[in-house]
Chain A
Amino acid sequence: MTNLKDRTGKIILNNQIAKDIYKMVIAFDDMPEDIKGGQFIHIKLTDNSHVLRRPFCICDFDMDKKTVAVCYAVVGEGTKEMTKYSEGMTIKAMMPLGNGFVPDDNMKKIVLLGGGMGSAVLPAVPKAFGDREYYTYLGFANKDKVVLEEEMKALSKEVVVATDDGSYGKKGFVTNILAEDMAKLKPDAVFCCGPEVMYKALKKALAPFDVPIIVSLEARMGCGIGACLVCNCKVKRNGEEGYLRVCADGPVFRLDEVVL
């Protein structure tokens, strides 16, 4: 069944929003019917020396304005090239790909937890499921790296920001700060995106609480649609360990299934 498209969009904004972090907004004439937080967009770079597309989580979207936003950190040649893209330029992108965060019906109160650039997954979650109550916790290395605080304030009841060095917001690891608030908050679920080291810490910090934790994984990708099997992650299901595809089986998984 043909139900996926390679779409052509026009860049309408590509600005630096923090140290080495950019926000790009792309307008599409042809928007998909449905987008969920946690799904991703697979962008073709304009320099043909790059044969692989670059996957980014869909940070935000607006169905009326027909736009999709991504936030990206400059980490390699591809993202360095992207910082040079100007407004008005057209780019090709496959989207929305993968499975996003879909709260169960009984998940009324949800904690959105972001670590560093992983925070970019969060805004699209309340956009897709506006009928839930969201509490946001964002952790960054330092003041220079803080992003998306204002956006999340508009989408959640409360936003707590922490930095590892205390240069902004609360001092310490955001996982520990969330753990301290858990008894008071009593959320129905925790949706998280951050580096792997954060997932290990999160598992430990929230071990005393009986709460489903759903995470979004990151991987080097090829096709982005499940054909090439390069973005494998180890998952334990029914007592058996095996590889699943981050792009097509994820990128969203239950933390208790992910082998860290």
Chain B
Amino acid sequence: MSNLKVNIAGVEFKNPVITASGTFGFGKEYDRFYNIEELGGICTKGLTIKPRLGNPPPRIAESYGGMLNSVGLQNPGVEHYLQTDDIELSKRDVVVIANIAGSTLEDYIAIAERMNESKADMVELNISCPNVKAGGMAFGVLPENVEKVTSAVKKVCSKPVITKLSPNVACIADNARGAEAGGADAVSLINTLSGMAVNYKTRRPILFNNNGGVSGPCVKPVALKMVWDCFNAVKIPIIGLGGIKNYTDVLEFMICGARAVQIGTHNFTEPCGARDIARDLKEYVDNNNMDINDIVGTLILNG
């Protein structure tokens, strides 16, 4: 019998398709296009302990096969979330992953503690936002810091913790090991790649912040390799993301070791894209009478 359900850290997803943090708000906008309960899960916009205004505009630029963003973690703050979207999302039959971020270790501990009040199923630890000065990125670069922040959060947070890894590091597999050593229940990767878009006429970067995070189909090969590297480095489940735009991309990520995936930029190209990918995956496993879990990490290397 075919199966599309996956399990990460004891949390069951009806399918492996999750929408990526920052591209999907808190779900209500896309819920106007389709029933978000067709998804396996949704990751919320990155939350911080205090509300954040974010960066001045422009915050977005297109590049060939991709885009750059520098939102800078604009969000209404965790208290607002707990009183509003947290409640609304809990009424829906979809796994909710609250993405949390901070600037200092104390910030992370404080927000992780507040998440115990949340109805979210899991917490995703954003230690790799490239768009905030002195931001989470400081914790995302060195493996020992990844371990430190993950372990501090795990000590106070009762929910399963996913540590989201940055690709802008020396060796992402070492950082996955750091997350595992810190007690992470899973890792998700990759966050955006650090990049720049330039206007040749004005000789200025297009983004006000000068730098931004690159995402979209152009980053997929980088992400696939990193997922495979991490799959060979840690035992905890991996959630793969980076440029996924259709169900065959999902299969590629799962073959490289991802147990579930996240859809980000593609939501902008196709507002119903994440739902369509989930539907196409269902058709694929039904047609092949397979359990989707059986393909995880089945990559056959040449030579």
Q: Does A50 contact B (CB under 8 A)?
A: yes
How many residue pairs link A and B with beta carbons under 8 A? The number is 110
Closest to B25 in A: A227
Q: Does B23 contact A (CB under 8 A)?
A: yes
Main secondary structure of the interface of B (DSSP, over half): loop
Task: Report B211-223 CB contacts with A as 1/0, cut-off 8 Å.
Answer: 0000011000000
Those of A201-231 within 8 Å (CB) of chain B? 219-231
A52-B32 CB under 8 A given contacts A220-B57, A223-B267, A229-B45:
no
Which listed residue (B60, B66, B74, B267) contacts A220, Cβ 8 A? B60
A219-B57 CB under 8 A given contacts A52-B62, A52-B268, A229-B45:
yes
Q: Does A51 contact B (CB under 8 A)?
A: yes
Q: Give A243 Cβ to nearest chain B Cβ, in Å.
A: 6
Q: Does A1 contact B (CB under 8 A)?
A: yes
Q: Does B53 contact A (CB under 8 A)?
A: yes
Q: Does A2 contact B (CB under 8 A)?
A: yes
Interface size counted on chain B using CB atoms at 8 A: 38
Q: Give B78 Cβ to nearest chain A Cβ, in Å.
A: 17
Q: Provide the bound-state CA to CA distance between A4 and B271, in Å.
A: 10
Q: Is the CB of A222 within 8 A of B69?
A: yes
Q: Provide the bound-state CA to CA distance between A2 and B35, in Å.
A: 7
Main secondary structure of the interface of A (DSSP, over half): loop
A232-B268 CB under 8 A given contacts A2-B32, A220-B60:
no
Q: Give B7 Cβ to nearest chain A Cβ, in Å.
A: 28
Q: Give A52 Cβ to nearest chain B Cβ, in Å.
A: 5
Q: Is the CB of A232 within 8 A of B74?
A: yes
Q: Is the CB of A51 within 8 A of B268?
A: yes
Q: Provide the bound-state CA to CA distance between A77 and B269, in Å.
A: 16
Q: Provide the bound-state CA to CA distance between A189 and B54, in Å.
A: 33
The residues of A that contact B216 with a CB separation of less than 8 Å are: 51
Q: Does A128 contact B (CB under 8 A)?
A: no
Task: Report B235-274 CB contacts with A as 1/0, cut-off 8 Å.
Answer: 0000000000000000000000000000001111111100
Those of A62-116 within 8 Å (CB) of chain B? 77-78, 94
Which listed residue (B30, B66, B74) contacts A51, Cβ 8 A? B66
Q: Provide the bound-state CA to CA distance between A15 and B71, in Å.
A: 36
Q: Is the CB of A6 within 8 A of B269?
A: no
Which listed residue (B56, B64, B71, B217) contacts A229, Cβ 8 A? B71
